[in-house]
Amino acid sequence: MTTYFLRNPIFAIVLNLMIFLGGLLSLEHLTVREYPPIPSNVVIVQTMYPLASASVVESRVTTPLEMALSGMKGILKTESESMRDFSHIKVTFAPGVALTDAMAELRERLSNALSDLPKEVNKPRYAFNSIWSDPFMTLEVSNESQLSDMEMSALLSRVVEPMLMSMPGLQNAYNRATQYGISVKLKPEMFAKWNFNVSDIVGVIDNANKDLPAGEIKIGRGLVPLVSKSRIGSIEDFRNLVIKQVKSMPVRLSDVADVVFEPLKTTPLAFKNSKKTTYVSLLVAPEANPLEVSKSVRELLPRINEMMPQGIKITVVEDNTDAIRSSISTVYKTILESIFCVSVVIFLFLGSMRLSFVPIVTIPLCLMGVLLLMYGLGYTINKMTLLAMVLAIGLVVDDAIVVLENVRRHYSSGVSAFEAAIRGSKEIGFAIIAMTLTLSCVYAPLLFSKGLTSQLFTEFAVVLAATVIISGIVALTLSPLMTSKVLRSSNHLTKAFEIFYDHIAIAYGKKLQILIAKPKLLLAFPLMIGIGVVLLNYLPLSFIPDEDQNAIYGYLNAPKFKNDKELLTYSKRFEDILRSTDGVEEIYTTIWMKEHVLVTAKFKPRSDRNRPIRNVLQELRGKIKELIPTGNCHVWLPRPEILRDEQSDFRVIFQSTQGYDYLFKVVGGLKEKFDDSGFFEQSNFNAQMNNVELSLTMDQARLKAFNIESNVASKQLRYLFGGLYVDRMELKGVNYPIHIENSSSWPRSKDDIANVMIKQGEARWGASQEDQKKDKDKKRFTPLSAFTKIEIKPDLSPYFHFNKIKALSLDLSLKKDAPISKIMEWLNQQLKPLMSKDLTVVIYGNILKTIEAKHELYINFLLALVFIYLILSVQFKTFFDPLIILTTVPLSTIGGLLFIWLWGEGLNLYTQIGLITLVGLITKHGILIVSFAEDFIRAGTPLLEAITKASQLRLRPILMTTLAMMAGAIPLMIGLEPGFEARREFGLVLLGGLGIGSCLTLVLIPLVYYWLNRLKRDFFVKNKR
């Protein structure tokens, strides 16, 4: 094949130019993402039940929905949390399940379950889990105008949000401006006076605030619709609504309630650096590309600002895609740095710019060729594919270097450049094909795996393998042609380089013969394998490295505080802790009273800070334990998209059919043991015993005796004590909610509830004891206490279920470099005594994923060796020589593990894939030495001379390709931008594995080859005798 392209240079040039142009055109159409699109196998089902307690949500919403989903094929596990007003169910499907079909069945089952839910329950919402289910972008609205809070809220709702929502890819946009509504504050004494109940008010508001169709009439030749308008047009009209006529006198709404236009209590409070501000939060659709959506928002903002009143300006204050964009931009820079480093190494070995051009030109050709393939396969430009390209820069020159060196060797023997190209490329063609196939098949086991490792690294593997294959094609088509055109007589610089490397080769050959004469050196081989095994088990495990994205998130759990004042106190204390932390630039706080507080601390770029974000997080957790009650505050680092389905290092589930009281009794004291163990930075139970709820148990027999319906009584209590949004009122083009609530002066206590008077499902309160006695004597009204048992009970919310069984969950965050094996042993010691027929313990989380990935590494590593061995056996037509070549693999692995240990890092997905990559890289050296040694032996050269000569001839190409690949990996180690941690660890493995592995290979391969061939020869000679 090579001879054909040498004799038809135009075809060779055109073929390679077409590859280049195809990739260049594909570059414009490739989508940019952070990671390859990994479909989530987790579906989140969320259901609202307004004003319902956590226990009611659990029994009336969560449990029926869980039963509706039971029996679905492919469900791996279900987890649920029942909170006040809210049910959250997480359904995890097993790998390999057809998610489209599963989603269709889930949708149908949820639809069928609606009839089993209370009428007040909102329709369940469901979607695949996504990291972008939280706001991915936050806009700040600065107000230096005269607009009031109410006008600002209306402006954002009527203008800004609709414009943002017009963009494709945006799922939701909601503003954090002060939201207003109409509060109807009931007056108890007026109710007693006029004998009213809440239902009367609700009915009047509902009937008086409607626009209804009233039919149509014919005018002329057409039909004109009639509309009956009774909608309230102003607050004053609303106050003047007539509730009832008493002795010909109208009783108006203002007589029995104060009607106030005021900020809603549910409006979150937003602060920037402790100063009140206004945000607009943006959510991206699960299927959309957040980078493209972010770009579209930034392009739209100038148009929006042009429409704003003077003094109003909207700016981006938080964009979670900045870290992604910065990381990807850094990889682009790394590619250029790698090309430069590789080019320098090639020049230092060749001593000629003209000759250096031959391997260097393969870099853009291979990169463009793989872009064309990515476009055809529907791949994206992401961290993994770019990482493959960085690594490929050092690999693609390998084949061209081997061809160039071999052609150059023949040229130096006196033949013409064209003849040297034919002879050299033919001689090396076998090795090129063997090396290309070897490295390409290393990742084949990943393509058959179903784990996260396969999903994450498939594109990486395909891109790297494809780049290597393209480099092999270029090496066999264009490189010989170019070499034949650029070969000239050596100049002084080139001769100096050649003399230098010849001296090194001669010295290497002499030393090698001395080492080959010492077979005891082979004993070092099992010793080095033992060192590798020790390192493999000693190094700490993690799923992926913690990425420094210049941010820390914090969470305060409001229900665990006594009141709003205490919540605000500790929220400010938390901000003060963050503000005193070195490197903090800005702090964004959002407070939802009665619910939670979210805090985002933005830090200076890593290059401007003295410490990595992980160390800052450890310090923060220590301060929080001292200054904020335990369990009430948690801090964590932003997690990448691939960790969206698991948020904890460890999650320990305690299940029991005996109920929550039993669970707390058995495992309630475990948290202190976990905190004192020294293994964990943070631990948190999903529920606490410090909350209470008021339980109202109605006696059905007494209800029947008093002729009261239980659902009517419950509904009235919801109106009285829960507060209720009953309708909306349009004012100046904006709809405002109408909320009925108690007067703030009315005391809420157990006695107040007991004295509520019920009349056939109607309630009145605030009546004097004398009036209550009259109502009771007339049997018109009955106090709630007459048929209801009122108890104060502990509130264990959120109520957690695991696989539909009541459970408690304990989330654990590991300390850095914590020994996983010791932790698993310690967990077993603590948990095993608790297990019984009434208590089941389940453990999962990211660490268990890491352990699974480690086991998957072993399997993929062995399979890669098998694939390489089989391919080499076909290439060498023997099962013997490939065994010699594979002895280099443990050596490279030891080098990679040693560098990981020296830099204080651990095993994770990136380092594991790096170790697998080394299998293909290092075997290329063995292929070069063994293939040439076999050629010399077939030519009649003695064994010792053959292996020595082959090693000397291949020394320079091996050193050149090794240093080129190492030079290409060096930029992976440089930088402090977001995402550099993963690149650095990958680079560590490659540098250590290539450097140490190549040095050992140059000694061990000849040693093993010589003595195994001697043993084979002696064995056959002995058998013949």
pLDDT of residue 589: 87
How many Cβ atoms from other residues are within 10 Å of residue 482's Cβ? 26
DSSP 573-621: HHHHHHHTSTTEEEEEEEEETTTEEEEEEEE--GGG-SS-HHHHHHHHH
* Res. 958: pLDDT tops 50: yes
In a domain, 670, yes or no: no
Which tokens belong to 444?
């084949």
Q: For residues 926 and 920, what is the distance between their CA atoms, to the nearest angstrom? A: 11
Count of domains in the chain? 4
Report how far apart, in Å, the C-alpha atoms of 232 and of each of 137, 200, 235, 590, 864 are: 38, 17, 8, 34, 75
* Res. 508: pLDDT tops 70: yes
Are 167 and 295 in the same domain? yes
pLDDT of residue 225: 74
In a domain, 47, yes or no: yes
Rounded average pLDDT over 1002-1015: 85
Distance from chain centroid for Cα 259: 47
The last residue of one of the domains, among 217, 238, 261, is: 261
Which residues sit opposite 182 in a β-bridge?
Answer: 261, 738
Are 967 and 882 in the same domain? yes
In a domain, 414, yes or no: yes
* Res. 506: pLDDT tops 50: yes
Are 348 and 422 in the same domain? yes
Rounded average pLDDT over 499-526: 84
Q: CA nearest 176: which of 132, 139, 131?
A: 139
Q: What is the CATH number of the domain that holds 195?
A: 3.30.2090.10
pLDDT of residue 801: 92
Amino acid letter for position 700: Q
Q: What is the CATH number of the domain that holds 151?
A: 3.30.70.1320
* Res. 1022: pLDDT tops 70: no
Question: Which residues have a Cβ under 8 Å from the Cβ of 889 and sit 6 or more positions away?
Answer: 865, 918, 919, 922, 923
Least confident among 47-61, 547-561, 786-800: 547-561
DSSP 936-954: HHHTT--HHHHHHHHHHHH
Residue corresponding to tokens 């740095």? 337
How many Cβ atoms from other residues are within 10 Å of residue 932's Cβ? 22
In a domain, 634, yes or no: no
Are 19 and 79 in the same domain? no
Q: What is the CATH number of the domain that holds 89?
A: 3.30.70.1430
pLDDT, tens digit (0-9, with 9 covering 90-100), for 356-407 = 888 888 888 999 999 999 999 888 888 888 888 888 887 788 788 888 878 8
State whether residue 553 is helix, strand or coil: strand
Are 399 and 255 in the same domain? no
- When pLDDT is cut at 50, 70 and 90, the band that residue 233 belongs to is confident
* Res. 1024: pLDDT tops 60: no
> Which DSSP letter does residue 907 get?
B
Rounded average pLDDT over 241-262: 83
Rounded average pLDDT over 689-698: 75
Report how far apart, in Å, the C-alpha atoms of 629 and of each of 558, 578, 590, 713 are: 12, 16, 20, 39
Which residues sit opposite 589 in a β-bridge?
Answer: 271, 599
Residue corresponding to tokens 């480099």? 471
Please give the residue range of the domain that contains residue 223: 182-261
DSSP β-ladder status, 691-698 and 680-685: unpaired
In a domain, 427, yes or no: yes
Provide, rounded to the nearest whole percent, the portion of the chain with pLDDT above 70. Answer: 88
- H or E element: which one contains 430? helix 417-441
Q: For residues 361 and 367, what is the distance between their CA atoms, to the nearest angstrom? A: 11
In a domain, 160, yes or no: yes
pLDDT of residue 610: 83
Q: For residues 613 and 816, what is the distance between their CA atoms, to the nearest angstrom? A: 12
Q: For residues 656 and 668, what is the distance between their CA atoms, to the nearest angstrom? A: 14
* Res. 1: pLDDT tops 70: no
Are 332 and 429 in the same domain? yes
* Res. 870: pLDDT tops 50: yes
pLDDT of residue 132: 46
Rg (CA), the chain: 37
Amino acid letter for position 627: L
User: Is pTM, for the whole model, over 0.85?
Assistant: no
pLDDT, tens digit (0-9, with 9 covering 90-100), for 720-762 = 666 667 777 877 777 788 888 776 555 556 777 777 777 654 4
Rounded average pLDDT over 135-151: 82
DSSP β-ladder status, 242-246 and 249-252: antiparallel
pLDDT of residue 777: 47
- When pLDDT is cut at 50, 70 and 90, the band that residue 460 belongs to is confident
Are 314 and 328 in the same domain? no
- Cis peptide bond prior to 798, omega within 30° of 0: yes
DSSP 256-319: HEEEEEEE-TTPPEEEETTEE--EEEEEE-TTS-HHHHHHHHHHHHHHHHHHSPTTEEEEEEEE
Are 367 and 329 in the same domain? yes
406 touches 932 (CB < 8 A): no
Q: CA nearest 286: which of 91, 50, 517, 44?
A: 44
Least confident among 125-139, 591-605, 948-962: 125-139
State whether residue 726 is helix, strand or coil: strand
Question: Which residues have a Cβ under 8 Å from the Cβ of 421 and sit 6 or more positions away?
Answer: 2, 6, 407, 480, 481, 483, 484
The last residue of one of the domains, among 244, 261, 278, is: 261
Report how far apart, in Å, the C-alpha atoms of 300 and of each of 144, 296, 306, 815 are: 22, 6, 10, 43
pLDDT of residue 761: 47
Highest mean pLDDT (candidates 470-479, 542-551, 715-724) = 470-479
Which tokens belong to 767?
């009546």
Q: What is the CATH number of the domain that holds 351?
A: 1.20.1640.10
* Res. 451: pLDDT tops 80: no
Amino acid letter for position 811: D
Question: Cα angle vertex 868, ends 867, 872, to 5°?
Answer: 120
Are 313 and 349 in the same domain? no
For the chain, the helix, strand and coil percentages under 3-state DSSP, each to the nearest 5: 55, 20, 25
Average pLDDT, the chain: 80
Are 109 and 225 in the same domain? no
Which residues sit opposite 556 in a β-bridge?
Answer: 597, 633
In a domain, 583, yes or no: no
Q: CA nearest 462: which of 331, 380, 374, 390?
A: 374
Higher pLDDT, 624 or 799: 799
Least confident among 192-196, 245-249, 305-309, 1005-1009: 192-196
Q: For residues 111 and 89, what is the distance between their CA atoms, to the nearest angstrom? A: 15
pLDDT, tens digit (0-9, with 9 covering 90-100), for 74-89 = 898 899 989 878 899 9
Are 1012 and 996 in the same domain? yes
* Res. 588: pLDDT tops 50: yes
Distance from chain centroid for Cα 75: 21
Question: Which residues have a Cβ under 8 Å from the Cβ of 758 and sit 6 or more positions away?
Answer: 706, 708, 713, 716, 781, 782, 783, 784
The last residue of one of the domains, among 261, 277, 308, is: 261
Spell out the alpha helix ranges (H) of 285-416.
Answer: 290-307, 321-350, 353-360, 362-377, 383-412
In a domain, 332, yes or no: yes
pLDDT, tens digit (0-9, with 9 covering 90-100), for 773-820 = 555 444 466 777 888 888 877 777 788 899 999 998 888 887 776 777
pLDDT, tens digit (0-9, with 9 covering 90-100), for 3-12 = 788 888 888 8
- When pLDDT is cut at 50, 70 and 90, the band that residue 61 belongs to is very high
> Which DSSP letter does residue 109 get?
H
Rounded average pLDDT over 236-263: 84
Question: Which residues have a Cβ under 8 Å from the Cβ of 590 and sit 6 or more positions away?
Answer: 176, 268, 269, 270, 271, 279, 597, 598, 599
Are 125 and 145 in the same domain? no
Q: For residues 223 and 217, what is the distance between their CA atoms, to the nearest angstrom? A: 6
